[in-house]
Structure formats: C-alpha cells, structure tokens
Amino acid sequence: MGEFDLIARYFTRPAARAALGVGDDCALLQPAPGTQLAISSDMLVEGRHFFADVDPLTLGHKALAVNLSDLAACGAKPLAFTLALALPRVDEAWLAAFSKGLLALADAHSCELVGGDTTQGPLNICITVFGEVPVLNGKSQALLRSGAKAGDDVYVSGTLGDARLALEALRGTVPLPLGLLAQARRRLEQPTPRVALGQALRGIASAAIDVSDGLIGDLQHILRASRAGATLETALATRLVAACAHPDWSGTGIGAEKQLEFTLAGGDDYELAFTAPESAREAVQAAAKQAQTPVSRIGRINADPGLRLLDAAGALIERRYASFDHFA
Amino acid sequence: MGEFDLIARYFTRPAARAALGVGDDCALLQPAPGTQLAISSDMLVEGRHFFADVDPLTLGHKALAVNLSDLAACGAKPLAFTLALALPRVDEAWLAAFSKGLLALADAHSCELVGGDTTQGPLNICITVFGEVPVLNGKSQALLRSGAKAGDDVYVSGTLGDARLALEALRGTVPLPLGLLAQARRRLEQPTPRVALGQALRGIASAAIDVSDGLIGDLQHILRASRAGATLETALATRLVAACAHPDWSGTGIGAEKQLEFTLAGGDDYELAFTAPESAREAVQAAAKQAQTPVSRIGRINADPGLRLLDAAGALIERRYASFDHFA
C-alpha cells in the first residue's frame, strides 16, 4: 500500500464543518465571526511518550487527547486537527487500530481531521489542533496562564498521579495489584481531556494550564506568567489520587512519600490546574457540575513569588520535586 | 539546557500579528474578516528528506519552505506556523543555525512562529503553516486541485529537475562538475516557495498544486481531482532544467533520457504546476511578471482521462515514470 492509498483508507473522511478537508495542498477553515482560532501542537515519540508495545488504539486516543487538553486549558471549543505521521513501515492492523482510537475521540469532540502528512521514518505522531474561542467586546475569552492574582484560589480537576503510578508499575519500580494497575493504566494510556470544563470556566477562571509535566512544574508556568506565588495544601492534593480510594492501595507497599511525589510531580495527568477569585467559588462549582468534572480547591495564590508546599500539619515541605523536562 | 530554556533561546520572539504567540497552552490567531484560514502540515525525517550531515541553516530554510509551498499552491498569504521538533540531543550550534535559517525565511514572508513542541527523539521536524485566503461574495478564492477544465493550458513555474540532479550527484549516481553541483544543490537544499505567484494567480488559475513528488505524479493529482486528462509536450518541460543552460552541462555525460526523468519525475522542485483557460494567457503572464517568477506553458488539459507525454517530434512517449511515494 502506498502513501496515498494509506491516507485514503485510514484517514480520509468527507469534510463536515471544514470548508475543505483532506486531499488538497491545504485544508480550509473558516472560524465563525467574532471568534479567534486557538492552535496547539504536540509531538509523540516512541520510547519517550509511549512504550513500543503500546496498544495502537489507545495510542491513537492519547495522541489526540494531549492536544485537546491544550485546547481545554485555553477554554477553546475543538474544531479540527492535522496529523503528521512517520511510520517505520505500513502495518495495516496497526493503522486500523490507531485510526480507530484517534477518530473515536475526534468524533466525541466533533473535532475533524482536515489534513496532514505521512512519511517513512521512526514512529512519530505530530498533531496540530484547532479550536474556537469567542471574542466579546474586543476581548478574547481564552483562558491564559497570565491572569492569576494574589488571593485567588488554586484548583485542580479530577485526580492526579495515576498515570505516573501506572508508568512506575509498568517499569517495575513499584508493586501494584493487577486490578489497580488496570485502573491506573487507563489514566496513562487513555487520558480524558477536560474539554467541557475548560469551556465552562471561560469568564470564571483567572488563569489555567493543563497538567502534562506534573502539577508543580505546570503550576509554576502560571506563577511565572502571572508574576505571583502560591501555597498548596498537599494533603488536599494527595487525596486526589484515584488509586487512593482503591481498597488494595494499602496493600501495595507504596509509601506516603511516593504517593506525594506521584501526585505533585507525576506528569501525564491531563487535568486542568486553574485559579479563580474567592468570589467565584460558587461559579467554579457550577461550571464543574455543568461539565460533569469534579474540581478540588488545593491552595491559594500569593503576591510573594515561589511555590510553597504545606503538609497536613501546615508545616512547609522542604523537599524539591522535579518536573518533567524532555531534555533534563 | 532544558526544554523551556531551549524554546526561550531559539524559538521565542514577541508576537507581531498573532493575538498570542509562543508561551501559553495555545497560540491565538484572528483571521481578518472575510478570509478563510488555509492550513498545511509537513514532516521532515532524517535519511528520508535530508542527509544526516545537511547544513542545519539550509534545513531550517527547507523545513518551512516546503510548507510555504503548500500555501502558495492554494494562493494563500502566509500568516503563522507552529514547529514541533524531536532532537536526539541539545546541540546549541545546530539549534542556532537551524533557527536562523528557519526564521530568516519566516521573516521574508512575514510568517510568524506562534507555538509548537520540543521533545527528545530521532530528528524529526514537523511544521504546520497557516495562511489567509479571501472569500469574495461567499466564494473562497483558494486555488484547488479540482478546477481544471478540458482545453485549459498547463503551466509550470521556474525550472524542474535540479533538486533531483543534485540528489543523484550527491549519491554518486551521476557525475556533475562542482560549479553545477553547487547550483543544483541550492535548489535541493534551499528551495524557493512560489508564494507571490500563488497569490497572483488567484482568480486566474483554474487549478494548482506544488511540485514536491515530481511533475507527473503531482499533475495527476490535479487530473484525478478535476476528472480530466492532459497532454504534455515534454520537449518544452525538459528545457526548464536550470542546469541545461549551464555551459558545463554538455560535458557531464548525463544523457537526454536521465534529463527527461529528472524533469518529469524528479521531486523536491517546489515549483507550482497549474492550469488556466486559454483566454487567460495574458493574465497568467501578467501574474508571473508581478510575482517576478517565470512560468512556462507545457501542455493542455483534455477531457480524456490519463496523462500523455509527447516527445519533440509529437510522438507518444511509452515509458512510465514513477512519482515519489514515501511507502513505495
């Protein structure tokens, strides 16, 4: 099967909302009047972002999910995406499963595949995603990293740490009962981008980011962009690990120290971390309810720069947690 | 140097026309009222699209040039691009040269780097480019592959075959004097996207494509999309090889057969192939003059499907030429 047959068989569907989809030199998109286009690009590499033996169906899901998560963090509504794919060889079973996982998530968010590229090379998946953000009275409604103010609450959606827990169990560095591994592994391999929550938080959240490299590292992007600091009650955050609620957790031999590390610096969570004024607490919970996504208040923005972590007793935690860096 | 320092040092510049550039979860673009966004994505892989020892400055140029060429084929005006980059390691000299070549071409076309991704992995460059196309009276002015009509003339811009000539010389399969190699190599490594010509041809050309995989293969995309055929006078096309005009050409020992092959099926030319009604011949030449880009008429669109190649005597050429396919 050649390059053009491959595109036709697995990646071409009639354009729905795009003015022009797959099959010409460019795709054409016409954003609605009074909107801006939000754009994000993520590249996934074998051995770095996924194991060589990963199920291609979940890989297709994840490749788009991490991009949708960036749209969510901006409060953008998904519109379309391009897919550039380097493949070592044409493996039809792999392509069928990969495109199935990819397009199922795309359909769930009405996010259309409008173009891209395929080439021979070490497995590499590069998706660029496009979303729509309203502009009201000349002001963009996009959620940015730069709007956090001293006194704002700090929130995180869903749960943290499960993806890292699965990664470490798969690497063999922590023991994990099979049922718990399956649950955590779903979070690692098929993350849920918080697309509805991001849109519901427009006009409410003062700043937002998606948690991809670990809560602490990503929150610090908000702090730097907002020229502010924050204090986190880590006891609130660590209660968020979904696995904690699992009856088998206590028998895993994973101590409180590792639990804290996975929660605060785990990475691959694809939850939203965001800030909002104290006056917006009811609005935040209403947005969470509307988006059917739990959110938890875990700290507060301070005028003093830096991120302070408090333990359950309110004492400062001195240990430093490294955020994920692709070149560190 | 970590991932974020790398982005800050080599790839972050203040947003000029974009509503928001590098540094948040998404970039924000606001297309002008009455325009559509044209989008294209290309992935370049070491060993497939460039040699491992390629000058990173020319690689930066080429990575963007091949994307701008897709915008040119649609008649779109470049606006912005995202860059996703997988690097085996952080090599500051390489990054400085690559970003210099990339951003010089971007500046020449006022095409702004608005975001992207960096990760560790086998060298892979994925660029997604955004351009603007006017919509007049509800009708997109984009040049598509699908508008060619029987009787239309077939044109190609600039010259063809030089990139392939350089590639074969570098591979050692054809002999080439050094001066001629340098000239051909510039075409291979630093192609000129025909951005001004594409825009000048809006409202004049009936169909267009950029020649990346070879004239014959790419022209057939127009024919399939337009449900038409074509007859090419190859004697006109082969006169286009820039190297032909070179005084040393006659001494290279490269025969007429190879010359024809490089011209018709060479690949990596990044010229525009397009069609226009006979009544538009003056308008085509005026557009070419305005864009300071020579164009040559090399054939005609027929109602009969298929592509027919005629030699200098007007006889049908039976030999088949393979177009470049990444998986063939």
Give the pLDDT confidence score for residue B203 in this predicted structure: 96
Inter-chain CB proximity A328 and B2 less than 8 Å:
yes
DSSP 8-state code for residue A9: I
For the record, the structure tokens of A291 come out as 């988006």
CA distance A204 to A198: 10
Q: Which has more pLDDT, B172 or A222?
A: A222
Least confident of A63-77, B95-109, B169-183: B169-183
Write the residue in B1, B27, B47 that is nearest to A39 by C-beta.
B27
CA distance B100 to B196: 22
B139 Cβ under 8 Å from any chain A Cβ: no
CA distance A222 to A234: 18
- Whether A246 shows a pLDDT value over 70: the answer reads no
B31 Cβ under 8 Å from any chain A Cβ: yes
Whether A168 and A230 have beta carbons less than 8 Å apart is answered as: no
Contacts of A20 (CB under 8 A, 6+ apart): A26, A27, A28, A114, B140, B142, B144
Least confident of A30-34, B27-31, B250-254: B250-254
A219 Cβ under 8 Å from any chain B Cβ: no
- Whether B312 shows a pLDDT value over 90: the answer reads no
- Whether B216 shows a pLDDT value over 80: the answer reads yes
- Whether B161 shows a pLDDT value over 80: the answer reads yes
At B76, is the pLDDT very low, low, confident or very high (cuts 50, 70, 90)?
very high
Cα–Cα nearest to B83, from A146, A103, A66, A84: A84
* pTM of the predicted protein model: 0.90
Q: Which has more pLDDT, A5 or B63?
A: B63
Beta strand B139-140 with B229-233: parallel, antiparallel or unpaired?
Answer: unpaired
Residues of chain A contacting residue B114, judged by C-beta atoms under 8 Å apart:
39
- Could you please state the CATH topology (level 3) that the domain comprising B153-310 is classified under: Phosphoribosyl-aminoimidazole Synthetase; Chain A, domain 2 (3.90.650)
Q: What is the mean pLDDT of residues A1-24?
A: 71
Q: What is the mean pLDDT of residues A305-316?
A: 89
Task: Kindly report the number of other CB atoms within 10 A of residue B304's CB atom.
Answer: 10
Whether A44 and A125 have beta carbons less than 8 Å apart is answered as: yes
3-state secondary structure chain B: CCHHHHHHHHHCCCCCCCCECCCCCCEEECCCCCEEEEEEEEEEEECCCECCCCCHHHHHHHHHHHHHHHHHHHCCEEEEEEEEEEECCCCHHHHHHHHHHHHHHHHHCCCEEEEEEEEECCCEEEEEEEEEEEEECCEECCCCCCCCCCCCEEEEECCCCHHHHHHHHHHCCCCCCHHHHHHHHHHHHCCCCCHHHHHHCCCCCCEEEEECCCHHHHHHHHHHHHCCEEEEEHHHHHCCCHHHHCCCHHHCCCCHHHHHHHHHHCCCCCEEEEEECHHHHHHHHHHHHHCCCCEEEEEEEECCCEEEEECCCCCECCCCCCCCCCCC
Residues of chain A contacting residue B140, judged by C-beta atoms under 8 Å apart:
19-20, 28
Pick from B19-23, B174-178, B197-201 the range whose average pLDDT is largest. B197-201
CA distance A226 to A102: 35
Q: Which of residues 80-109 of A touch B (CB under 8 A)?
A: 82-87, 89-90
B24 Cβ under 8 Å from any chain A Cβ: yes
- Mention the CATH class of domain A3-140: alpha beta
CA distance A100 to B51: 34
Q: Which has more pLDDT, A181 or A13?
A: A181
Contacts of B139 (CB under 8 A, 6+ apart): none
CA-angle at B98, arms to B94 and B99, nearest 5°: 120
A198 Cβ under 8 Å from any chain B Cβ: no
B322 φ/ψ angles, rounded to the nearest 5 degrees? -85, 135
**Same fold for the pair A3-140 and A153-310:** no
Between the CA of residue A88 and those of A32, A119, A127, B66, B229, what are the distances in Å? 39, 9, 18, 22, 35
Best A11, A83, A126 member to test B by mutation, with max B CBs in 10 Å, is A126
Whether A168 and A233 have beta carbons less than 8 Å apart is answered as: no
Whether B125 and B46 have beta carbons less than 8 Å apart is answered as: no
- Whether B246 shows a pLDDT value over 50: the answer reads no
Three-state secondary-structure class, residue A173: coil
Whether B128 and A37 have beta carbons less than 8 Å apart is answered as: no
Q: Which of residues 115-134 of B touch A (CB under 8 A)?
A: 115-122, 124, 126, 128, 130-131, 133
What ranges do the domains of chain A cover?
3-140, 153-310
Whether B224 and B246 have beta carbons less than 8 Å apart is answered as: no
